[in-house]
Amino acid sequence: MNDSGQSAGSSARSKRKDARRNQQALLDAAAEVFVSSGVDAPVRDIAARAGVGVGTIYRHFPTRADLVIAVYRHQVDACAEAGPALLASSPTPHAALVRWVDLFVDFLVTKHGLATAMQGDSTCFGPLHTYFLEQLLPVCTQLLEAAAASGEIRSDLDAYPFMRGIGNLCVGADSDPHYDARRLVALLVAGLRQPQ
Amino acid sequence: MNDSGQSAGSSARSKRKDARRNQQALLDAAAEVFVSSGVDAPVRDIAARAGVGVGTIYRHFPTRADLVIAVYRHQVDACAEAGPALLASSPTPHAALVRWVDLFVDFLVTKHGLATAMQGDSTCFGPLHTYFLEQLLPVCTQLLEAAAASGEIRSDLDAYPFMRGIGNLCVGADSDPHYDARRLVALLVAGLRQPQ
Amino acid sequence: MNDSGQSAGSSARSKRKDARRNQQALLDAAAEVFVSSGVDAPVRDIAARAGVGVGTIYRHFPTRADLVIAVYRHQVDACAEAGPALLASSPTPHAALVRWVDLFVDFLVTKHGLATAMQGDSTCFGPLHTYFLEQLLPVCTQLLEAAAASGEIRSDLDAYPFMRGIGNLCVGADSDPHYDARRLVALLVAGLRQPQ
Amino acid sequence: MNDSGQSAGSSARSKRKDARRNQQALLDAAAEVFVSSGVDAPVRDIAARAGVGVGTIYRHFPTRADLVIAVYRHQVDACAEAGPALLASSPTPHAALVRWVDLFVDFLVTKHGLATAMQGDSTCFGPLHTYFLEQLLPVCTQLLEAAAASGEIRSDLDAYPFMRGIGNLCVGADSDPHYDARRLVALLVAGLRQPQ
DNA sequence: GATGAATGAGGGTTCATTCAT
DNA sequence: GATGAATGAACCCTCATTCAT
């Protein structure tokens, strides 16, 4: 349309460029809307903010969860990568665990509604749930096992319930000033300590 | 109207009996539906299950929160009353606290979606939230203070965030067999222990 | 119930007394509610104000129109009776007509929503409409004919459209301070004057 | 998007054409339903008649008043434009006023329920009311002032109550064959004549 | 007779998702 | 590919009217 008289190839490329640009706009818009209205924000709001039609969202992200994943992929991945790094650089495995949990909680708390979306009962966030677990479960497991091996914490808690618990504790943390999720998560971690 | 005469009294009572029977049916139906579909279940579903019209629900329970309160009032009240009793009968305040938390968790976990409803962000459950807090906050506070006074736990956690945390940990506990809310709550309580 | 040990007759009479008392309370309550909320006020509001059940209203006044009629019967009748009296006491038939119209307008305007109820399209006010016409049409006709006979006004307007017109002009007169129904009715009557 | 190119332009236009076609269907359907059931007809009825979903109506006309305005905009505008034209082409301002009032009455009477909607008390028709007044008040004012300036009518009646009066006189005119709104409006206008 | 609980039709509104253009 | 119009199921809530007690 824009480049009249060009070859089909160029047309196709320009289309792709358009598509990619759109996808990026979508991610940016979604990130903003998620922050202001939570991850359950109406699809239309996101489309409007991105300046595209709702259909475009569905093309790029068939499921709402797909969109959420895409939006937070970088941060999830960073969180995943931080695990081994912290383990290597911290004085003890337990210290690494504490720091990593901090990262994870920051991530959940600062994203309005993400913690809720991570809850297991929501069927429409299945892929989101899955992705998070796939990325973070091994890391968390590694940290827990290391800390258990060093005798700092008990060894009878799996990473899955642990992460679920942290996720749950972060629910609603952004909307209630009287509720300090980090505090409670710290208590939970403290509860893991080996009863000397 | 309120005369002690038998006929009129019985007539009035019988009328009330009808209404009460209906109300009871409503409570039963709501309890069932809440379990199967959560406390956000459509009004009509509850009405249908109870075999009454929707208007009947609105008559008895103008607000959804009113209905939820009514459904769980006994249990909430029992939970509230258990606090002092446990304090009196347990070897230590900490033991009482642990047992009481158990009761509370049982209550939250066995009622599908109740924990979610207890979260602070839902505006339409204001009355419910309020009622729960009014009943249970003082009790929880008393238990925490007693345990703190006896030196068993730290004294810097208020009852409100504590209860919110417990409530959050119970979210989704009924739908995921891999998630053991009681375990995590136990860890949270363990985290309260005075770092000897 | 109250007079234990009385004869059936006395009981029956007391019932009637009760019924009459109820009916009066109903009329009073309805009058008040009509003023504050219009003649379309919910049935329950009236029952509540009267301190009776809704069923009682339906027993006494099967139709809302029946209730409205009953409430305003005195005033309608007074309006009807005023016609001949004014005709007899006024200097000219036209003067009598003007005064009578004043009465009628006062009646309609001071009763919130009555003018609306008098409109022909509302099917549920049929009996009301009918009663009003039955009582007032002959009177109005007489006044119009007298004024026409004396040459003061044209003779080609029937009482029915005339009254409908007046009724309509009074619609909404009580809720809009910028709208002066009496003014417009006066113009309408002025428009009747024989084009000398 | 707005480029003058043929293909894209036609594509954009064709999309709009579809929507416009639908919008037109909606306007037609609404017009019909308004005639048969009044402007208070259920949204669903209009949607059904137009063969569209209810959502489509809400998309095009967020408020019922918006729909009513759209349906009658042409006629209101025509009425507004007719004022100056009549003033220019009529022998006297009074004659122009009479003709214009005829147009206005025709408009109100032939649209079932429109007159009622024009009444001031209905809160949900605010925009409608506003639009009508904005369009027609200046015109009516001009006509009244011209006729007053020429000494044909009294000068102490504002356009607003005048129009309200006409509107009111037209209420129910379509459903009652015995009620001739035009007749009464003519009398009202006649009542304005300067008492020579 | 009186009561008021129950009914359920009726109307409004939102929003995820599809699909013609 | 992008668009956004259309769909319509799903909810909510009100209130006139009936009828068992």
Report CA(D45)–C1'(F11) in Å, whole number: 19
* B175: nearest CB among A120, A162, A179: A120
pLDDT given at position C3: 44
Would the pLDDT of D106 be above 70?
yes
Per-residue pLDDT reduced to its tens digit, B24-58: 999 999 999 998 888 889 999 999 999 999 999 99
Whether domain A1-60 has CATH 1.10.10.60: the reply is yes
Q: Which residue is nearest to nucleotide E8 (CA to C1')?
A: B53
Nucleotide nearest to D11 (CA to C1'): E21
| Residue in chain C nearest D195 by alpha carbon | C190
Domain D1-62 identical in fold to domain D71-196: no
Which one is predicted more confidently, A19 or C183?
A: C183
pLDDT given at position B121: 56
Give the start-to-end residue ranges of the domains of chain A: 1-60, 64-196
Mean of pLDDT over chain C: 87
Location of structure tokens 């204001």: B126
Per-residue pLDDT reduced to its tens digit, D53-103: 999 999 999 999 999 999 999 999 999 999 999 999 999 999 999 999 999
pLDDT given at position A120: 61
Report CA(D127)–C1'(E9) in Å, whole number: 30
Kindly state the average pLDDT of the residues C47-61: 94
Per-residue pLDDT reduced to its tens digit, B167-181: 999 988 877 788 899
Cβ-defined contact of B178 to A160 (cutoff 8 Å):
yes
Exposure b/e, A158-180, CB count within 10 A at least 16 = b: ebbbbbbbbbbbbbbbbeeeebb
CATH hierarchy code of domain B64-196: 1.10.357.10
| Angle, vertex CA A72, rays to CA A71 and CA A76, nearest 5 | 155
Report the run of H or E that residue D36 belongs to, with start and end: helix D6-37
d(CA D38, CA B128): 43
| Residue in chain C nearest B1 by alpha carbon | C1
Would the pLDDT of C62 be above 60?
yes
User: How near does any CA of chain A get to the CA of D115, in Å?
Assistant: 38
The reply to whether D15 has its C-beta less than 7 Å from any atom of strand E is yes
Per-residue pLDDT reduced to its tens digit, C119-157: 765 566 778 888 888 999 999 999 999 999 999 999 999
Kindly state the average pLDDT of the residues D113-120: 75
HSE toward the beta carbon, residue D143, CA cutoff 13 A: 32
Structure tokens at B32: 């069932």
d(CA B191, CA B162): 11
Q: What is the DSSP string of B25-74?
A: HHHHHHHHHHHHH-TT--HHHHHHHHTS-HHHHHHH-SSHHHHHHHHHHH
Would the pLDDT of C100 be above 50?
yes
pLDDT given at position A15: 59
CB < 7 Å to strand E — which of 44-83 in chain A? 44, 54-55, 58, 64
pLDDT confidence tier of residue B127, bands split at 50, 70 and 90: confident
Mean of pLDDT over chain B: 86
Report CA(C112)–C1'(E1) in Å, whole number: 32
| Angle, vertex CA C169, rays to CA C73 and CA D136, nearest 5 | 160
Which has the closest alpha carbon to C169: C128, C117, C108, C125?
C108
d(CA B169, CA C157): 81
pLDDT given at position A13: 52
Per-residue pLDDT reduced to its tens digit, C178-187: 889 999 999 9
Cβ-defined contact of B119 to A161 (cutoff 8 Å):
no
Structure tokens at B110: 């066995």
User: How near does any CA of chain D get to the CA of C116, in Å?
Assistant: 9
Judging contact as 3 or more Cβ pairs under 8 Å, the answer for C and D is: yes
Per-residue pLDDT reduced to its tens digit, A71-84: 999 999 999 999 99
Kindly state the average pLDDT of the residues C11-21: 66
pLDDT given at position C122: 59
Neighbours of D8 (CB within 10 A): 14
Nucleotide nearest to C47 (CA to C1'): E4
CATH top class, domain D71-196: mainly alpha
Per-residue pLDDT reduced to its tens digit, B71-125: 999 999 999 999 999 999 999 999 999 999 999 999 998 887 777 777 765 666 7
d(CA A130, CA C179): 67
CB distance B69 to B127 below 8 Å? yes
How many contacts (CB atoms, under 8 Å) link C and D? 87
CB within 8 Å of D128: residues ≥ 6 apart: D65, D68, D69, D117, D118
SS3 of A195, please? coil
Q: Locate all alpha helices (DSSP H) within chain B, ordered by sequence.
A: 6-37, 43-50, 54-60, 64-89, 93-110, 114-117, 126-149, 159-169, 181-192
Fold held by D1-62: Arc Repressor Mutant, subunit A (1.10.10)
